[in-house]
Amino acid sequence: MKRNRFVAMIMAVICICLMIVPAVAVQTRASDQIMKYSVDVTPGGGVLKVRFSVTGTGVKSKLGCESINVYQKSGSRWKLSESWSESDTGMTKKNTTLYVNTITCGGKAGTEYKVVVTIFAEDSAGRDSRTTTTYVTGKA
């Protein structure tokens, strides 16, 4: 009787250990260069505010936003309205772990917009980027 309980206890511990291993193996960061990032597009007051945040896995030689492309809906098509690249003011920061900024562009109430944002992190090990697309409607 004691032996059956002992064997049952050992089997239960083995089952619990098998369930824990996959959870530990999950990678929680966005990439080898990017720990986490976010992009928020807020319409209002006749403008679109594009807020981006990127955290590197350590100090990066360059960190920030590679590009922002704002498309305006015209009929059934998207037409490029405004764009920024990493060489534009406020898009990147050097030798940092975190960069957060907001870029503002014009927006018309009732107009549909597609905003494509690519963030990146770069150091001596290389460069990595992530792209997000957000759809919003302009507000007065």
Q: What is the pLDDT of residues 44-69, one digit of tens each?
A: 999 999 999 999 999 999 999 999 99
Residues 6+ apart with CB under 8 A from 119: 34, 37, 39, 52, 54, 64, 65, 66, 129, 130, 131, 132
Which pLDDT tens digit goes with each residue over 114-135?
999 999 999 999 999 999 999 9
Which pLDDT tens digit goes with each residue over 2-12?
666 766 666 66
pTM: 0.78
DSSP SS3 for 74? strand
Phi, psi dihedral angles at 62 (to 5 degrees): -150, 135
Burial 73-102 (b: 16+ CB within 10 A, else e): eeeeebeebbebebeeeebbbeebeebebe
Q: pLDDT tier at 1 (50, 70, 90 boundaries)?
A: low
3-class SS letters over 11-33: HHHHHHHHHHHHHHCCCCCCCCC
Provide the 8-state DSSP code for 64: E
Please report the pLDDT score of residue 31 as a whole number: 82
